[in-house]
C-alpha cells in the first residue's frame, strides 16, 4: 500500500512539475511579429503620380533649347522714326501704348523682339542680359528689321533702350521655332 501511495505521489509530482515547466516555458516565450517585405518589382503604378510626372516632363521640354545662336542685342522703341507701332508678324500687334510684352499661351508673359527671317514669327527665345533682368529673359519674335542672328528688344522708352540694353553680343537659345499649335 505504501508502494502504491508512493507511485501515485510520484505520478502527481511528475505531472505537477510538467505543468509547471509548461507554464514557465509559455510565459517566457517571446512572440515575434514578422513583417513581409514586398521586393516585387512589378508594383502597381499610381496613375495620378504618373500624370504629374508627365506634366513635369512636358514643362521641362518647353524650356529645353532646340537651337543656339550668337548675335548682337540692341533695344528699340515703337515710336522710332521708321516704326509704325504695328509689329511685322501677324496678328499685327500694336505697341504704340508702350506695351513691350506679349501673353503667350505656352510661355505666359514674354518680352517682344525683332529678328531677321532666320527665326520664324512666333519663335520663343531665351537669353541673359543682367542689366535688364537678373532672370533669363524669354521673348517672342513678333517684329522684323534686323540682320543675321541679331535681336532687337522692344522697350517702352528710348532712354531705357540706351541705358539698360545698349548694344552687346549675346548667345540665345531657341525654345520654340515659329507658332505651334
pLDDT band at 92 (very low <50, low <70, confident <90, very high): confident
CB-CB contact of 128 with 139 (8 Å): no
CA 140 – CA 152 distance, rounded (Å): 11
Dihedral (CA of 96, 100, 103, 106) sign: positive
DSSP string, 93-158: -B-TTS--EEEETTTEEEEEEE--TTS-TT-EEEEEETTTEEEEEEEEEEE----TT-EEEE-SSH
CATH code, 69-176? 2.40.40.10
Q: What is the pLDDT of residue 149?
A: 96
pLDDT tens-digit readout, 148-157:
999 999 998 8
Q: Which residues pair with 126 in a beta bridge?
A: 138, 173
Report the mean per-residue pLDDT for the chain: 82
Closest CA to 114 of 161, 55, 48, 68: 161
pLDDT band at 2 (very low <50, low <70, confident <90, very high): confident
pLDDT tens-digit readout, 30-86:
555 556 565 555 555 567 776 676 666 655 678 888 899 999 999 998 887 777 788
Q: What is the pLDDT of residue 146?
A: 92
Closest CA to 65 of 177, 181, 173, 179: 173
**Could you tell me the residue ranges of all domains in the chain?**
69-176
CA 166 – CA 168 distance, rounded (Å): 7
Mean pLDDT of 7-14: 72
Mean pLDDT of 103-121: 94
Q: Which three cell numbers stand for residue 96?
A: 504704340
The structure's pTM equals 0.66
Q: What is the pLDDT of residue 8?
A: 75
81: which DSSP letter? Answer: T
Instruction: Please report, in angstroms and rounded to a whole number, the separation of the first and last CA atoms in the chain.
Output: 111
Q: What is the pLDDT of residue 135?
A: 93
CA 143 – CA 122 distance, rounded (Å): 9
Share of the chain above pLDDT 70, in %: 72
Q: What is the pLDDT of residue 89?
A: 87
Q: What is the pLDDT of residue 114?
A: 94
Amino acid at each position: 500500500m505504501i508502494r502504491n501511495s508512493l507511485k501515485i505521489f510520484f505520478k502527481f509530482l511528475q505531472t505537477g512539475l510538467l505543468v509547471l515547466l509548461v507554464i514557465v516555458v509559455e510565459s517566457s516565450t517571446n512572440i515575434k511579429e514578422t513583417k513581409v517585405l514586398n521586393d516585387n518589382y512589378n508594383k502597381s503604378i499610381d496613375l495620378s503620380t504618373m500624370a504629374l510626372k508627365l506634366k513635369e516632363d512636358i514643362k521641362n521640354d518647353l524650356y529645353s533649347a532646340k537651337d543656339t545662336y550668337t548675335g548682337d542685342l540692341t533695344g528699340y522703341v515703337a515710336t522710332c522714326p521708321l516704326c509704325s507701332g504695328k509689329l511685322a508678324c501677324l496678328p499685327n500687334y500694336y505697341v504704340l501704348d508702350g506695351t513691350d510684352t506679349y501673353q503667350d499661351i505656352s510661355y505666359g508673359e514674354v518680352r517682344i523682339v525683332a529678328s531677321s527671317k532666320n527665326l520664324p514669327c512666333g519663335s520663343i527665345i531665351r537669353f541673359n542680359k543682367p542689366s535688364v533682368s537678373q532672370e533669363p529673359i524669354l521673348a517672342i519674335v513678333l517684329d522684323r528689321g534686323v540682320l543675321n542672328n541679331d535681336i532687337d528688344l522692344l522697350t517702352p522708352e528710348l532712354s531705357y533702350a540706351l541705358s539698360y540694353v545698349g548694344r552687346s553680343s549675346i548667345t540665345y537659345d531657341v525654345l520654340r521655332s515659329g507658332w505651334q499649335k
